[in-house]
Amino acid sequence: MSSGCVHIQAYCHQTFTERQPAPQTFSWVGEYYAGLLEPFGLTTDLSRLDDGMNNDFLSMGRSVMNALQQESSLEDVSLFLMAHQTPDTYFPFRSTTTRLCSEFNITAPAIGMTEQELTTPYVALAALLSAYRDGRKTGSGLLLALDQGTLPYVRPGYSDTTIDNALLIKVSGPSAPDGIAMNGRKVWIDPASRKANWISQAIYAYLDDQRIDLKDLHVVVDEQTPSDATTGLAVPISHADPRLMSVSALSTALEKSKQGCAHVLLVHVAKNEQLFLFSFSKLRTPMQEAA
């Protein structure tokens, strides 16, 4: 799978489960959220932050970047994407990418990506894959995905057991000498077909195209993937921990690759009926993983 793919040079996933001192945020945050949530019929409740872990985007991003930097240089970064579902709970107007670029001497374009809920990291990952897969973009790309479990409102469809966490991935083009070889595909689900059957057929078509044998495969799904879409696959299947929100399946897939699975297939179904498939091949040489 090395042809037309990218190589993941390093990654770092951290969870933040220890309560931190409450950030000194702005007095108008309550009014900001009230105006933001009113059109959706949601009510602001700042008291919910009292039981939170108080991790803002900048502190989480700084932590994973410091860790990854110990194993892989950031000097060759040529594109930096940050994916997040919601605004930073404590500093909704702060430009986290700008601050991180300044702190880590990154001069590459830095773009924040949001408004895609749990699919946001996969949209960003597909963008990096497109940019570096054919070798037209040199250097390395960074994907920083951030999730805050504490919000000043009750978010429909989410439990209160979610965990603040951050995932940082560094990718390079196919000429990179080592790392996890990653490829992927994004397709629209045919509305005229039975959803689970269509997804299953799309998976088989992708595996055939990538020449991945079922005997070498491990599949990772999250809670948005219909349970009957993968039941026909006679392969090990891991269900990602929903407490890790948008990076649950991606962090699980990387961990399975690190453990030595020959091929890992990540299956994610977006709410807008897009299917994301990402495959990760066996390590060529020991990959760097930040602690």
CATH of residue 218:
3.40.47.10
Do 88 and 217 belong to one domain? no
Residues 198 and 227 in one domain: yes
For residue 25, what pLDDT band results from cuts at 50, 70 and 90?
confident
Rounded to the nearest integer, the mean pLDDT of the chain is: 90
pLDDT for res 232 = 84
Residue 166 shares a structural domain with residue 185: no
Q: What is the mean pLDDT of residues 148-157?
A: 87
Find where tokens 């110990």 sit: 70
**Domain-ending residue, one of 103, 138, 172:** 172
Last residue of a domain, one of 126, 153, 172: 172
pLDDT tens-digit series, residues 63-114: 999 999 999 999 999 999 999 999 999 999 999 999 999 999 999 999 999 9
Exposure string of 57-86, with b = 16+ CB inside 10 Å and e = fewer, is bbbbbbbbbebbbebbebeebbbbbbbbbb
List the beta bridge partners of residue 186. Answer: 276
User: Does the pLDDT at position 3 exceed 90?
Assistant: no
**Residues 213, 279: one domain?**
yes
Q: Give the pLDDT mean for 44-54.
A: 88
Give yes or no: residues 14 and 144 share one domain. Answer: yes
Task: Select the highest-mean-pLDDT range: 21-30, 47-56, 105-114, 177-186.
Answer: 105-114
Same domain, yes or no: 91 and 219:
no
Task: Provide the residue range defining the domain that includes 77.
Answer: 6-19+29-172
Q: What is the pLDDT of residue 285?
A: 46
Kindly state whether residue 202 falls inside one of the protein's structural domains.
yes
Kindly state the average pLDDT of the residues 160-168. 92
Task: Tell me whether residue 81 is in a domain.
Answer: yes
35 shares a domain with 83 = yes
pLDDT-derived band at 290, boundaries 50, 70, 90: low
Report the pLDDT value the prediction gives residue 8, as an integer from 0 to 100: 95
Do 150 and 234 lie in one domain? The reply is no
Closest CA to 271 of 129, 123, 142, 159: 123
Q: How many domains does the chain have?
A: 2
Name the domain boundary from 172, 188, 205: 172
For 195, the enclosing helix (H) or strand (E) is helix 195-210
Strand 140-147 with 110-113, pairing: unpaired
**Per-residue pLDDT tens over the stretch 260-287:** 999 999 999 998 899 999 999 975 544 4
Q: What percent of the chain has pLDDT over 90?
A: 69
Which residues are bridge partners to 221 per DSSP?
239, 267
> Do 159 and 253 fall within a single domain?
no
Average pLDDT over residues 25-49: 90
Contact present, 121 and 56 (Cβ < 8 Å): no
Is 189 part of any domain?
Answer: yes
Does the residue 289 lie in any domain?
Answer: no
> Do 166 and 194 belong to one domain?
no
Determine, yes or no, domain membership for 290: no
| Strand duo 217-221 + 263-269: pairing | parallel
Q: Are residues 249 and 147 in the same domain?
A: no
Burial class (CB in 10 A: 0-12, 13-18, 19+), 254: buried
Cβ count within 10 A of residue 212: 19
pLDDT digits (tens, 9 = 90+) for 218-262: 999 998 898 888 888 889 999 999 999 999 999 999 999 999 999
Q: Establish if 43 belongs to a structural domain.
A: yes
The pTM score is: 0.92
Structure confidence at residue 291 (pLDDT): 47
- Is 40 inside any structural domain? yes
| Same domain, residue pair 141 and 10 | yes
